Amino acid sequence: MATSILDLNAQKTAVTDSEDLALVRALREGSERAYETLLLRFQQPVYNLALRLLNDPSDASDVVQEVFLKVFRNVGHFRGQSSLKTWIFRIAINEAHNQRRWFFRHRHREVGIEDEQEEARSRADTLADSTQSPFDYVVDRENLALIEDALSRINPTFRAAVVLRDITDLSYEETAEVLQVSLGTVKSRIMRGREALRQELGKKLQSQPVMHWLPKTAE
């Protein structure tokens, strides 16, 4: 069974690699459709990755533009030694790192006047979700908000590893390739990142008032 899963994964990787190479070839030929495909495939994950790493929609937008500018200009140098996804994510990680460094040097005292969060909501976000009860929805939203808040508080190095592994759903090997570190380092960062998150969430839950709901008959 395990062998068949591995075979399926290998087949999937091979298909993705051939798709990547075809896309890169089309990009080098200047195909309009290739540029559109690249954007459609990667703008969402790259934006989410940048957003999780920077916690600022405006900075994330800047980083995404820089990433795609570099991708378009350097696609001629892409040799296919890694997958297109890990190559683009590696550029995104580097750009986010540069942006964070620049932010701490220059902009940490600035206050934004734009409400990007509101603008970032798509029409689908505003539609009612019929799969959950309102109570479950609120609980889920609160839990997710807690997780996102905790994620923004942990060390950026560990955060990058956890985001790539658990949110972007990369394998350990792909995460190591994106972060350009060894597999052992990735394992350690993921483990320590999750542990830091667990502790942050533990602190949050302890600081919140506990409500006890007791069943009672009506009088």
To the nearest 10 degrees (0 to 180), the angle between helices 183-207 and 134-153 is 120
143 binds another protein (CB under 8 A): yes
116 binds another protein (CB under 8 A): yes
Q: Which x/- pattern over 66-85 shows residues binding another protein (rule: CB under 8 A)? A: --xx--xx------------
Q: Which of 184, 116, 197 has the alpha carbon at shortest distance from 158?
A: 197
138 binds another protein (CB under 8 A): no
43 binds another protein (CB under 8 A): yes
- In the bound state with another protein, the residue whose beta carbon lies nearer, of 28 and 107, is 28
> What is the Cα–Cα distance from 48 to 50, expressed in whole angstroms?
5
To the nearest 10 degrees (0 to 180), the angle between helices 32-54 and 84-102 is 50
Q: Among the candidate windows 7-15, 16-24, 61-69, 207-215, which touches another protein by CB under 8 A?
A: 61-69
Total number of residues shown for the chain? 219
153 binds another protein (CB under 8 A): no
**Of the candidate residues 61, 152, 157, 185, the single one contacting another protein (CB under 8 A):** 61
Helices (H) and strands (E) in the chain, counts: 10, 0
51 binds another protein (CB under 8 A): yes
Dihedral Cα 75, 63, 181, 25, nearest 10 deg: -10
Q: Among the candidate windows 9-17, 91-99, 195-203, 207-215, which touches another protein by CB under 8 A?
A: 195-203
The three-class DSSP label of residue 23 is: helix
Q: Which of 88, 13, 7, 105 has the alpha carbon at shortest distance from 49?
A: 88
- Residues lying near another protein in the complex (CB under 8 A): 28, 30, 32, 35-36, 38-39, 43-44, 47-48, 51-52, 57, 61, 64-65, 68-69, 72-73, 116, 119-122, 124-125, 140, 143-144, 147-148, 151, 162, 165-167, 169, 172, 187, 190-191, 194-195, 197-198, 201
